[in-house]
Amino acid sequence: MFMLISSLPFHSALWHFRLGHVSYKRLAHMSQLYPSLSFDSNATCDICHFSRQKQLPFPLSSSVASNKFELLHFDIWGSLDVPFILNHKYFLTILDDSSRFVCWIVLLKSKSEVSQHVTNFITLVENQFYITPKTIRTDNGPEFLLLSFYASKGITHHRSCVETP
């Protein structure tokens, strides 16, 4: 049975707090050296739990687009230390959500080229496949904020949460 450290008497957690939230394994070793040191090995510390947690958990999405080009994911990678041929330092990835394996990669010299390549790609999809994408999902990069273009095509723009894959 685990008890929260806040519900324990103060003396049970005193050394855990004084030593900077040291692990209970280390406290057990110290209590062998110093018998007067006491602690509750079944206690859990909320502060330790939250401080070791890097980000809040989020549920994995199980939804997948039912038709091709219904949902497209765009992302920019770079700047690369060693540029590609012709001095390309970035690349844009475009992923179709329905198949999850159809991916396009566009080489970029700078991030300012992104808006032109996004509009070119959507025009390509419309002309070659006679489909207008319904939703585009990107990170919070300002390069993808083409609100008037998306509105003219009837495309919904979703932006992902910060620091999420």
Q: How confident is the model at residue 164 (pLDDT cuts 50, 70, 90)?
A: low
| Percent of the chain scoring above 70 in pLDDT | 77
Q: Give the per-residue pLDDT at 8.
A: 43
pLDDT for res 142: 86
**Which of residues 16 and 97 earns the better pLDDT score?**
97
Residue ranges of the domains in the chain? 3-52, 71-159
Query: Which pTM was predicted?
Result: 0.60
CA–CA separation, 95 and 4 (whole Å): 45
Does the pLDDT value for residue 116 go beyond 90? Answer: yes
- Are the C-beta atoms of 88 and 108 separated by less than 8 Å? yes
- The pLDDT of residue 1 is above 60: no
Instruction: Quickly state the pLDDT bin for 5 (edges 50, 70, 90).
Output: very low
Q: What is the pLDDT of residue 53?
A: 57
Confidence of residue 165 (pLDDT cuts 50, 70, 90): low
User: For residues 141, 78, 106 and 64, what is the CA-based torsion angle, rounded to 10 degrees?
Assistant: -60
Task: Give the start-end residues of each E strand in 21-164.
Answer: 43-44, 71-78, 90-96, 103-108, 135-138, 156-159
71-159 belongs to which CATH class? alpha beta
Q: What is the pLDDT of the chain when averaged over all its residues?
A: 78
pLDDT in tens, 24-76: 777 778 778 877 777 666 666 777 766 665 555 656 666 677 788 888 999 88
Burial 25-48, CB ≥16 within 10 A → b, else e: eebeeebeeeeeeebbeebebeee
